[in-house]
Amino acid sequence: MIEIENLSKSYRSASGNVTPVLKGISLQVQAGSITAVVGPSGAGKSTLAKCISLLERPDSGSIRVNGNDLSLLSGVALRRERRAIGTVFQSSALLGRKTAWQNIALPLEYLGVVERDIHARVGELLESVGLSHKAQAYPAQLSGGQRQRIGIARALALRPSVLLADEATSGLDPQATDSVLKLLRQLRDDYRLAIVLITHEMDVVRTTADAVAEIREGEIVQSGALKTLLAQPDSHLGQQLMPLAPASTPADVLLRVSYRTDGSARTDWISQLSQQHGLRVDVLGGHVEQINGLLSGRMQIGISFTHERVSIPRLVAQLAHLGVVAQVLDAPRALKEAV
């Protein structure tokens, strides 16, 4: 696992001005899980990636991998411990004059691994990324997705326990992106890797991550398990992950709802709510999909009373019974206070 605690990093300009980029970042990524780090351009995501891999040394704080604090090391000791971190960049950075097999073998050759063991390890990695048939192909003969998968295989050559993927799918077409993300999920499960996925693509987060952290102006403003954030109607990060563009309505009550994390949300909850209370339920905006095997969704709905009025607490309780968590956006005070 990787543990980042109170990590800070600033840069000094030629004129002497100091610009803080990371301000006390703390983050944990468990073995066998994928944590996505998101945020706007300039928020500090790339600097965090460089600090995690120790390409940039932080000003303060610690980076512990499997209990070892890499930020305290230097020289030979640091190079040895950094083998626990594999890195995949936006560009696969393969050497154009070397085959896929030779690119994967580079880290092993650098360490002086015997040829027999190199052959065994490279063959295993090519099989794990599904490209054994491309072993002798040069980068120019591979698609973008294939090059990235070879880059991932090379990052795994030294058997790291942490994989850092910095915008690894940026610029790939949808099919190649799906292929790379499927591979990351497979590697997470097969090798119990702790994967840090730095991205700006919310589709990538929804389909791949177990947890997510948002950085803004060098600070983590919200983090948590993906399913938990999606189930919180008032979560700003949840709204970014499943954005809504609701239409307007003259409804009596306006609600934002999210599906619960335990898989208890019923697919017929709208019709059930309508039938039980004689309501008209208008879906003003919605996003529903399967995430990690569970039905996840966020909606904004308008409720109009066709018969008797129902109190807000009663509506919220009924929605909870149907597996849906509700946040009241607008309603008459009398309905909010009624029991």
Q: What is the pLDDT along the chain (339 residues), one digit of tens a residue?
A: 899 999 999 998 888 889 999 999 999 999 999 999 999 888 999 899 989 988 889 999 999 998 888 888 888 888 888 889 999 987 778 999 999 999 999 999 998 999 999 999 999 999 999 999 999 999 999 999 999 999 999 999 999 999 999 888 887 888 889 999 999 999 999 999 999 999 988 989 998 999 999 999 999 999 999 989 988 888 888 888 888 888 888 888 899 999 998 888 888 999 998 888 888 999 999 999 888 888 899 999 999 888 778 888 888 999 999 999 999 888 766 555 554
- Tell me what pLDDT residue 41 has: 86
pTM listed for this prediction:
0.87
- Tell me what pLDDT residue 33 has: 95
Q: What does CATH list as the number for 236-337?
A: 3.30.70.260
- Tell me what pLDDT residue 337 has: 58
CA distances to 88, 92, 105, 169, 184 from 153, rounded to whole Å, are 9, 10, 10, 15, 11
- Tell me what pLDDT residue 78 has: 86
Question: Checking DSSP bridges between strand 33-38 and strand 194-198, what pairing results, if any?
Answer: parallel
Helix, strand, coil tally for the chain in percent (to 5): 35, 30, 35
If DSSP codes are grouped into helix, strand and coil, which group holds residue 304? strand
Query: Facing residues of 195 across strands?
Result: 34, 163
Every domain of the chain and the residues it spans: 2-223, 236-337
User: CATH number for the 2-223 domain, one of 2.60.40.10, 3.30.470.20, 3.40.50.300, 1.20.1050.140?
Assistant: 3.40.50.300
The CA distance from 68 to 62, in Å, is 10
Tokens of 244: 């809504």
Tell the burial category of 96 from Cβ atoms under 10 Å away from its Cβ (0-12, 13-18, 19+).
exposed
